[in-house]
Each structure stands twice: as structure tokens, then as C-alpha cells.
């Protein structure tokens, strides 16, 4: 399996807000399409390297889909099209210039630990989601 074949959401596994957002995404998606990996995981490292993202860069959710990398609000807007009604309507924010959207994203991101704290456990540790977790690029999700 190559990075170009994947549909993956990479997120800060230590962030309570990030974990909660991923759980929310999974409850509202139309179909289970995306694999999950914490940015801190071994599975994420080759993907980060492939797309030139520095290891340890935890400041943004990343979405990899059909060989493209989406960051920050571009990732959020991309994921909205995968959700059930009425959530895709939020894609209207695509008309807001990206630098403004990303500035708001960075503002919240810089305060996420202070406002929501650290996660007690990562969403990928949830046994019910085990099949969705990206373990490595060369292994099946069942391990």
C-alpha cells in the first residue's frame, strides 16, 4: 500500500479536543472511508516524511486523500464532504480566504491543551475502532 492509495486522518493523539473531534467525525460520516493515525504514531512517520511534514509537527490535523495532503482548514473542509447532512453545508466557509480561516484555526490550536486538556487515551486505542487504525503502510489494519 502506498501513500497515494490512502485516505487517512492524522491528528494529535495527545489532544483531548482532537480526539473528540475525530470521534465526532466518525459518528457523522456517511461511510467508513478514512483510516486513522495519531501524528505521534509509527504509522504516521513515513507519511509525514513522504509529504515533507517535519516529525513532531502537531499543530494541524492532516488529511491524506488520493495522493494529496490537506492541512488545517483545508483538511476540515475536505472532510466535511464525507459527512451526513447537514454538516456539508459548512463547506460554505471555503469562500473565506484561507489565510483568515487558518489564522482562526491556529488561534484555537495554540490554546487547545489549555482549553480542553490532554487526552486520557487516544481514539485509536478504542477497540471498537481497531479496524480503522493505520498500523503501518505495509500491514493490514487488523493487527
pLDDT, tens only, 1-28: 455 667 999 999 889 899 889 889 988 9
Q: Between residues 137 and 76, which one has the greater pLDDT?
A: 76
Q: What is the pLDDT of residue 136?
A: 66
The verdict on residue 141 lying in a domain is no
Q: What is the pLDDT of residue 143?
A: 34
pTM of the model: 0.85
The verdict on residue 75 lying in a domain is yes
Q: What is the pLDDT of residue 2?
A: 54
The verdict on residue 143 lying in a domain is no
Q: Name the domain count of the chain.
A: 1
The verdict on residue 84 lying in a domain is yes
Domain coverage including residue 99: 3-131
The verdict on residue 139 lying in a domain is no
Tens of pLDDT, residue by residue over 24-56, are 998 899 998 899 999 998 889 999 999 999 877
CA distances, 39 to each of 4, 93, 95, 97, 98 (Å): 18, 26, 29, 27, 23
Amino acid at each position: 500500500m502506498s501513500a497515494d492509495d490512502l485516505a487517512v486522518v492524522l491528528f494529535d493523539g495527545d489532544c483531548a479536543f482532537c480526539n473528540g473531534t475525530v470521534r465526532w467525525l466518525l459518528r457523522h460520516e456517511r461511510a467508513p472511508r478514512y483510516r486513522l493515525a495519531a501524528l505521534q504514531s509509527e504509522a504516521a512517520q513515513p507519511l509525514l516524511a513522504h509529504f515533507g511534514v517535519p516529525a513532531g509537527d502537531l499543530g494541524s490535523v492532516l488529511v491524506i486523500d488520493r495522493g494529496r495532503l490537506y492541512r488545517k482548514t483545508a483538511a476540515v473542509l475536505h472532510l466535511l464532504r464525507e459527512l451526513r447532512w447537514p454538516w456539508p453545508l459548512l463547506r460554505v466557509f471555503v469562500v473565506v480566504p484561507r489565510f483568515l480561516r487558518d489564522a482562526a484555526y491556529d488561534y484555537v490550536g495554540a490554546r487547545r491543551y489549555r482549553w480542553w486538556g490532554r487526552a486520557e487515551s487516544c481514539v485509536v486505542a478504542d477497540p471498537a475502532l481497531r479496524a480503522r487504525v493505520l498500523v503501518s503502510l505495509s500491514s493490514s489494519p487488523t493487527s
